[in-house]
Amino acid sequence: MNRPPPAVFETPGFPHYGVAWSPFHSNRIALASSANYGLVGNGRLHLVSLGPGPGGVPALSLDKFYETQDGLYDVAWSEIHENQLVSASGDGSLKLWDIMIKVGTRRSELPIRAWHEHTREVFSVDWSNINKDQFISSSWDGTVKLWTPDQPRSITTIHAHPSCVYQAMFSPHQPDVIATCSTDGTVKIFDLRAPAYTPAAPGVNNFTAPLTAAALTVPAAGTEVLTVDWNKYRPFVLASAGVDKAIKVWDCRMVKLGPDAAQNPAVGGACEAQLMGHELAVRKVQWSPHRADMLASAGYDMTCRVWTTTPPLGGKHLLYIHDPHTEFVVGCDWSLYEEGVLASCSWDCRLNVFRV
């Protein structure tokens, strides 16, 4: 197959941590990056747009960037305001940026709002596309926090896991339902309407071990689960992946939601497919916004892969391998406007946009 080469954009000195397409503009991409691979040093939030390049081939160009004092680990666009986006920092803070409003000096522009409640690295942010004024953040401090841009403090805190929460995602179908994944090898589904603290079981003390009861706990892997995503078409179907190198698709329709969810914590989730192929840990999975059976994954084996969950008879799950990255691939995001267009970002400081 003869594919056009990917459009490439480089940010020398700033390895990437996250990438997100704008939900409002078909050609805008935000990139979260950190100097020194996020070990120490500053971060940068890049705004990149895809436009016609020389010879009619699409090319990426930098619109602007913001400097931050700590590495950036994730970024999410606002679903309600086309110029706003929120970034997750290594120092535990969240920052809301408006690309049209100038705050600060020309050389160091500032966010329009910043929150600092997490006590450790914030590793993911996700904006709800149902309650469009809400977003969530997940942190290594084990909590997930719900925010709205107007409030100076978080609305709710969920003590989701006893250890690092690598990702938290809003359900695209149900308001107030989120999925989280963690070091402890579980994926959990929480209903935000349920009270944050109910004794999970007699004899469990919520004061010494504050953990919010999950509506459903999925024992997804024996090792760390680094990423989770909701299928956009099939309610309560999730994909998870992590250190065990497998991408697993979970049917979680047995979950019981509602305010009482926390009263009857359940364990379950039926694994309906397991996609093997990554040679090292999988860092990110994302379902296609256009097709119910397609997902993309990015991994430490320096590849970005595209999979189908329903291969034709005798066919393979694996559809495509994007191999040009030369360092760990840490993020991927499907274009919301053009089917089959994927952006992948990596520690080689390159953002690749390509058609699958």
Partner 1 sequence: MSLPLLVNGAECGPSNPLQGLSKRFDQDRGIQQDQFAAGRAGSSKETFRSQYSPAPGVNQDAARFFSASPAPTYGMPPPSSFDLSALHRSLPISHGQSVVHMQSPTQTPSLQAGAAAWAADFLQQQPSEKAVERHAAPMTLEQNMSPVSQSSPGAFMSNMSWNPAMGYSTAQFAPMAGVQQSIPQMQSAQIDAAKWDQEFRSQVLSLHTENPAAAAPAVEDRAKAASRSQPVHEGDELARTAGALLDTVQGETNPKFKNSAFLGLMRQLRDRDVILEGNDLVQRDEAAGAQAPADVKGKGRAVDAPTAAAGGFMQSLTQQPIADSSGGATASSEQTSRPGEDPNDTYFRQENEDYIALQTRIRESNNIASLETASDARASQMAPQEAEWGALQQDWDAFEATAAGIRPLASYQFQSNNPYLHGEASRTRHHVAHGGSSQTLYESVLELEAAAQKDPTNASRWYQLGVKQQENEREQKAVQALRRALELDPTHLPSWLALAVSHTNEGDRLGAYNAIREWVGRNERYAAAVAHFRALNPESAGATHSEKLAGLMHCLMSIVREHAGDEIDADIQIALAVLLNTNEDYAKARDCFTTALAVRPDDWLLYNRVGATLANSGHPDEALQYYYSALELNPAYIRARFNLGISCINLRRYDEAAQHILDALVLQDGDSVRDASGNEDKRGVTTTALWDSLKTCCLHMQRLDLATLCDRRDLDAFRLNFSMQ
CB 187 within 8 A of CB 249: no
Contacts of residue 180, Cβ cutoff 8 Å, sequence gap at least 6: 138, 144, 158, 160, 161, 165, 167, 168, 169, 187, 188, 190, 228
User: Residue 320 Cβ, how far from partner 1 at the closest point, in Å?
Assistant: 14
Place of tokens 């991927």: 332
CB nearer to partner 1: pick between 80 and 218: 218
Cα–chain center distance at 151: 23
Q: How far apart are CA 178 and CA 158, in angstroms?
A: 11
Shortest Å, Cβ 220 to partner 1: 7
* The pairing of beta strand 266-267 with beta strand 216-219: parallel
Measured between alpha carbons, how far is 209 from 185 in angstroms, rounded to an integer?
Answer: 18
Question: Using the rule CB under 8 A, which residue among 6, 18, 111, 269 binds partner 1?
Answer: 269
Contact flag: residue 220 with partner 1 (CB under 8 A): yes
Q: How far is the CB of 102 from partner 1 (least distance, A)?
A: 18
Left, alpha or beta for 258 (phi > 0: left; psi -120 to 50: alpha)? left
Residue among 311 and 340 whose Cβ is closer to partner 1: 311
Q: How far is the CB of 288 from partner 1 (least distance, A)?
A: 19
Q: 291-330: which residues touch partner 1 (CB under 8 A)?
A: 300-302, 311, 314-318, 326-328
Of residues 63 through 122, those in contact with partner 1 by CB under 8 A are: 67-71, 90-91, 108, 119-121
Q: Is 224 in the site for partner 1 (CB under 8 A)?
A: yes
Distance CA 6, CA 295 (A): 19
- Is residue 62 within 8 A of residue 351, CB to CB? The reply is no
168 contributes a contact to partner 1 by CB under 8 A = no
Q: How many helices (H) and strands (E) does the chain have?
A: 0, 29
| Residues between 22 and 51 with contacts to partner 1, criterion CB under 8 A | 35-42
CB of 24 to partner 1, least distance (A): 29
**Chain residues 188-207 in contact with partner 1, contact rule CB under 8 A:** 200-204
Interacting positions 234-263 with partner 1 (CB under 8 A)? 242-246, 248
Query: From the list 77, 236, 347, 354, which residue makes contact with partner 1 (rule: CB under 8 A)?
Result: 347
Residue given tokens 């799950």 in the structure block: 317
Residues 7-26 that bind partner 1 (CB under 8 A): 15
Residue among 107 and 150 whose Cβ is closer to partner 1: 107
Token pair 């379950």: residue: 268
Contacts (CB under 8 A) with partner 1, residues 113-152 = 119-121, 140-142
